[in-house]
């Protein structure tokens, strides 16, 4: 379950940011999770709650967004916004789309005090 290691990495990022910016507590964290990151949002939320115990983000609310990613159609070359590997091209209808590489998880915003 790589969601646990993702949650641990998020904790480290938040602790680093707290040291740099002088905040003591994280109330809400917003994440952008690529639909191609192979992350199960419910599992990540569970792991987040477990990993954040005893940290500056204990009890923090986690908001997970899954914005579309830009891929391209292998049939016609059009750039296509994708939300899953099952999407089809809006231009030609082809289902032969190339999903973006290197998509993952990132913190987009934090509500801190």
DSSP per-residue letters across 64-93: EE---EEEEETTT--EEEESSTT---TTT-
Q: In the prediction, which pLDDT does 11 show? A: 98
Residues of the chain with pLDDT below 50 are: none
In angstroms, what CA-CA distances link 90 with 25, 74, 95, 98? 44, 12, 10, 14
- Alpha-helix runs per DSSP H in the chain: 2-21, 41-51
In angstroms, what CA-CA distances link 43 with 9, 73, 88, 108? 15, 31, 28, 19
Q: In the prediction, which pLDDT does 1 show? A: 56
Q: In the prediction, which pLDDT does 5 show? A: 96
Both tokens assigned to 5 = 């290691």
Helix, strand or coil for residue 96?
coil
Q: In the prediction, which pLDDT does 80 show? A: 96
Both tokens assigned to 99 = 């999903």
Q: What is the pTM of this model?
A: 0.84
Q: In the prediction, which pLDDT does 21 show? A: 97
Strand partners, 28: 61, 111
């Amino acid at each position: 379950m790589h969601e646990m290691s993702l949650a641990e990495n998020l904790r480290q990022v938040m602790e680093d940011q707290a040291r740099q910016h002088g905040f003591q507590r994280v109330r809400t964290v917003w994440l952008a999770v690529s639909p191609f990151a192979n992350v199960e949002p419910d599992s990540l939320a569970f792991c987040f709650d477990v990993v954040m115990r005893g940290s500056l983000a204990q009890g923090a609310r986690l908001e997970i967004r899954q914005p579309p990613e830009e891929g391209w159609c292998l049939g016609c070359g059009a750039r296509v916004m994708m939300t899953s590997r099952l999407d089809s091209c809006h231009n030609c209808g082809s289902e032969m789309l190339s999903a973006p590489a290197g998509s993952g998880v990132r913190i987009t915003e934090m509500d801190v005090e």
